[in-house]
Chain A
Amino acid sequence: MKKILLMALSIVFILSIALTGCSSNESSSGSGGSKKQTTLVFGRGADSTSLDPAVVTDGESFKVTKNIYDTLVEYKGQTTDVGPGLAESWDISDDGLTYTFHLRDGVKFHDGTDFNAKAVVFNFDRWMTGKKSGKFAYYPSMFGGFKGDKGHIIESVTAKDDSTVVFKLKRPSAPFLKDLAMSPFAIASPTAVKKYGKDYGRKAAVGTGPFKFKDWKSKDTITLVKNDDYWRKGQPKLNKVIFKVIPDNTARLNALKNGEIDLMDGVNPSDIESLKNNKDLELFYRPPMNVGYLGFNVEKEPFNKKKVRQALNHAINKKALIDSFFAGAGEPAKNPMPSNIAGYNDDIKPYDFDLKKAKKLLAEAGYPNGFKTELWTMPNPRPYMPAPQKIAEAIQANFKKIGVDAKIVTMEWSTYLEKVSKGESPMFLLGWTGDNGDADNFLYTLLDKDAIGSNNYSRYANDKVHELLIKAQSETDENKRNELYKKAQVIIHEDAPWVPLVHSKPALVGKKSIEGFKPHPTGSDKLNTVYFK
């Protein structure tokens, strides 16, 4: 028995030595050595769902697809202002109903087929007629439904000639251009979409972007390689980008320090201080496009009383929360949206941290001795709230000082969302990451009465706010529109359905030699300008 085993082993051994002779020349490549580094390994916490951006909603998918595809218009630099993308320029009719896009010539998809007006029409047709499949999540929420739905704002998308696309809208929509810049509305190769059918996004992903999809090992790595024919000349500067899943934040940082990866997101706030002093690594902060908040269910006792809500607004020390749990990487919030979004009302005076005022308001509301309630908190960190459990405990301690006795309740994430959206919790921690950088995407989506049952978890309904927000949706004059949003914020501030807590600036960390990396507020970055020194 032993002899046989020994013989088998020796045979395997000899065989493999023989085989090494044939293929050993490959082995030295890849390790790089002293040559300039051209492969970037991006470490992250979870895998993508699909590489068809139209069917996903998770940031981990967009992080990759943003590098494979382009959109008609793009966000400029680190802002959410819109600039040219696949469309070189565009005209908007005076009534705000017709958008004519002039497309870039000579752009090709990664499969060699031409990018043209027909391809744009194909993509929009695919999304707007996709109601039955139920998989296009972003399209109906940004464009008011599918083809045939009452709320659908797009009347038609037509190809006037090879390089001109005309969008006709049913009613003016102020955020329309910003919507078009969003990752889910990237243009995919019609040939590839038809060829792969159900497998599109998993076995193939074909766009016009700076990198081409190479392979995907589930829950492990996604590899992209340089698109030599990218329409921005001289870009991308990297030859290869690999997205590597490492679920644990500390382990991911260990891998970075050990040189196994080059760049990562999801840094523990507690690690930031030590990283500031690290000679080999550099911190990057993503500009905020989010809000973390404490919501009240305004339909439930005692939160149906405005004074109670205002009192609790006075009872939270936001600065201390940010210093302790965000390592300072965040701005205290006073409005439901961050300050870099057009329409932000900076004149609003925040509820200051003042326990006396809080007590007084509580007494006026009829609760001089406080009350008992529940404080629901998320089980796992979110981009807008890195340590929800601890933040809940800090808020609990703050509330205790004014006699409000809050029991902390937590449960698994999807259960949590379901129960909160049904209005089962009196008081809850939640947040929102913006989609297109527009005020509508915060105020209307989160606090309009139309959004009760979906994202208006506070079940806040104010007809005046509703009127302002609806008017703003179709106001195409930028200044007038911003005024409407500013007014709405005044009312929301007074009604206080939330305690807006923080706009966090998530930290990323990478090797010092990385150049040209500018994190974008949307949470997904195009890596075409990145290179190693």
Chain B
Amino acid sequence: MLSYATRRVLMLIPVLFGMSLIVFSIIRLIPGDPAQTILGTKATQEAIQSLHHALGLDKPWFVQYVSYLKDLLTGDFGTSIRTNAPISQEIWPHLAATMELSFVAMIIAIFFGINAGIISAWKQNSIFDFTAMVIALIGVSMPVFWLGLLEQWGFSLELHWLPSIGRDNIRNAVNPITHFFLIDTLLQGRFDQFWVVIKHLILPSVALATIPMAIIARMTRSSMLEVMRSDYIRTARAKGQRMFWIVYKHSLKNAFIPILTVIGLQTGLLLGGAILTETIFGWPGIGRYVYNAIQYRDYPVIQSGILVIAFFFVMINLIVDILYAVFDPRIKYR
């Protein structure tokens, strides 16, 4: 097991190396010039050239790549061309913001998705099954930005229950320590703020949760249906075991592997893919951070941002692979 994990972590090196090379060359192939976006439409050619020189953009691209790799190996993510800030410092608050949001969204998605899937399978072809699957279908196909605006309209403007944007009360902001606001407020003992942060999390995380929730529900249903037709379940039923235990204990455990795969993939996707939700809810997350960098051709930020997202994507999948063995003892890693 341990050697397997080590091997997988080592595999990260070529993966990330390849990623960096692809990202590096693609962003230099697309038209657009960072110096132009920094200096604006009013800049002179001369000014643009001297900024190119100052930023090292006039060097051959492989020279730029090698120096970027060198910095990366020493743990230096580079400096944003636009804001001049070290990326390693700048990126963390954004990453933490997205992680917190994705984490809560996945909890919602997993809890409701799995339960809806299970009950649908258990009561196959019932009204509940039918309704749940239709809702799931809508959930998959609903545009997130539309749902987000609808939520804001309903729960903020009409009912005044929940705040419409941001991570905390703008006028009484959370003092960041780890940048996970749920943790920070608890560490500072600010229960009032903890509650405010939760209220801010509800709308965006529900919007973000819809798609994974629907996918998980559908996957759970089909996987459960298969398991529930197997012999050992029939035996358990014949023995007169309570249906609840059969479903939640015996069936779910065996049906869980494909569900876990979907959960892993969806979690990874949320890290970079929460951008629409982040835009609608004014959430200062990593998706928007990288997206803005693309608009301004802030090469170092795009490179390092995508690399960080890729790293977490691969890590999440590694964790999922290891969890397979926990849920299914037949799976062994050597």
A interface, CB within 8 angstroms of B: 12, 16-24, 26-27, 29-32, 39, 41, 46-47, 49-50, 57-58, 131-135, 137-138, 140-141, 145, 198-199, 201-202, 217-221, 223, 242, 244-248, 250-252, 254-255, 257-258, 260-261, 412-415, 417-419, 435, 445, 453-455
B148 within 8 A of A: yes
* CA of A412 to CA of B145, assembled, Å: 21
Residues of B within 8 A of A141 (CB): 42-44, 47
B288-320 interface code vs A (CB 8 A; 1 in, 0 out): 110010011100000000000000000000000
* CA of A19 to CA of B35, assembled, Å: 50
Residues of A within 8 A of B38 (CB): 49, 57, 135, 137
B51-63 interface code vs A (CB 8 A; 1 in, 0 out): 1111100000000
Given A132-B54, A247-B282, A251-B280, A23 and B45 contact (CB-CB distance below 8 Å):
no
B144-174 interface code vs A (CB 8 A; 1 in, 0 out): 0100110011001100100111110111110
Residues of A within 8 A of B288 (CB): 219, 247
Q: How large is the interface on B (under 10, 10 to 19, 20 to 34, 35 or more residues)?
A: 35 or more
The answer to whether B33 and A414 have CB atoms under 8 Å apart is: yes
Q: Identify which of residues 257-271 in chain B touch chain A, using a CB-to-CB cut-off of 8 Å.
A: none
The answer to whether A445 and B83 have CB atoms under 8 Å apart is: no
The answer to whether A20 and B189 have CB atoms under 8 Å apart is: yes
B135 within 8 A of A: no
The answer to whether A134 and B188 have CB atoms under 8 Å apart is: no
B82 within 8 A of A: yes
The answer to whether A218 and B84 have CB atoms under 8 Å apart is: no
The answer to whether A419 and B31 have CB atoms under 8 Å apart is: yes
Given A138-B42, A219-B284, A251-B152, A258 and B83 contact (CB-CB distance below 8 Å):
no
Q: Which residue of B lies closest to A419 (CB)?
A: B31
Q: Can you show 11 pairs from A to B with CB atoms below 8 A apart?
A: A24-B192, A132-B50, A132-B54, A137-B43, A199-B84, A202-B83, A218-B94, A223-B173, A254-B152, A260-B163, A415-B31
Residues of A within 8 A of B35 (CB): 134
B interface, CB within 8 angstroms of A: 30-33, 35-47, 49-55, 82-85, 90, 93-94, 145, 148-149, 152-153, 156-157, 160, 163-167, 169-173, 176, 186-194, 279-282, 284, 288-289, 292, 295-297
Measured CB to CB, the closest approach of chain A to B315, in angstroms, equals 22
* CA of A30 to CA of B170, assembled, Å: 10
Query: Looking at the complex, which one of B94, B187, B282 makes contact with A255 (CB distance below 8 Å)?
Result: B282
* CA of A32 to CA of B55, assembled, Å: 47
The answer to whether A19 and B189 have CB atoms under 8 Å apart is: yes
The answer to whether A414 and B191 have CB atoms under 8 Å apart is: no
Given A57-B40, A254-B153, A254-B157, A134 and B47 contact (CB-CB distance below 8 Å):
yes
Given A39-B171, A258-B164, A260-B164, A413 and B295 contact (CB-CB distance below 8 Å):
yes
Residues of A within 8 A of B156 (CB): 254, 258
Residues of B within 8 A of A454 (CB): 42-45
The answer to whether B45 and A453 have CB atoms under 8 Å apart is: yes
Measured CB to CB, the closest approach of chain B to A10, in angstroms, equals 13
Measured CB to CB, the closest approach of chain B to A494, in angstroms, equals 27
Query: Looking at the complex, which one of A23, A415, A417 makes contact with B190 (CB distance below 8 Å)?
Result: A23
Residues of A within 8 A of B36 (CB): 414, 417-418
* CA of A198 to CA of B86, assembled, Å: 11
* CA of A250 to CA of B188, assembled, Å: 34
Residues of B within 8 A of A46 (CB): 292
Residues of B within 8 A of A39 (CB): 171
* CA of A66 to CA of B2, assembled, Å: 58
Query: Looking at the complex, which one of A244, A254, A455 makes contact with B42 (CB distance below 8 Å)?
Result: A455
Residues of A within 8 A of B186 (CB): 12, 16
Q: Which residue of B lies closest to A415 (CB)?
A: B31
Given A20-B189, A27-B192, A220-B284, A260 and B84 contact (CB-CB distance below 8 Å):
no
The answer to whether A50 and B83 have CB atoms under 8 Å apart is: yes
Query: Looking at the complex, which one of B30, B53, B90 makes contact with A218 (CB distance below 8 Å)?
Result: B90
* CA of A47 to CA of B93, assembled, Å: 15
* CA of A21 to CA of B33, assembled, Å: 54
Q: Which residue of A lies closest to B276 (CB)?
A: A248
* CA of A100 to CA of B244, assembled, Å: 89
The answer to whether B188 and A445 have CB atoms under 8 Å apart is: no
The answer to whether B30 and A415 have CB atoms under 8 Å apart is: yes
Measured CB to CB, the closest approach of chain A to B169, in angstroms, equals 8
Measured CB to CB, the closest approach of chain B to A445, in angstroms, equals 7
* CA of A220 to CA of B94, assembled, Å: 10
* CA of A83 to CA of B83, assembled, Å: 33
Measured CB to CB, the closest approach of chain B to A435, in angstroms, equals 7
> Besides A32-B171, A254-B152, A255-B165, 17 other CB < 8 A contacts?
A19-B187, A19-B189, A20-B191, A22-B189, A29-B172, A41-B171, A57-B40, A134-B51, A202-B85, A219-B94, A246-B166, A254-B157, A255-B282, A258-B156, A260-B166, A418-B33, A445-B42
Query: Looking at the complex, which one of B176, B282, B297 makes contact with A246 (CB distance below 8 Å)?
Result: B282
Residues of A within 8 A of B149 (CB): 250-251, 254
Residues of A within 8 A of B32 (CB): 412, 414-415, 418
Measured CB to CB, the closest approach of chain B to A142, in angstroms, equals 9
Most buried by A among B35, B148, B170, B176: B170
Given A16-B189, A248-B279, A217 and B93 contact (CB-CB distance below 8 Å):
yes
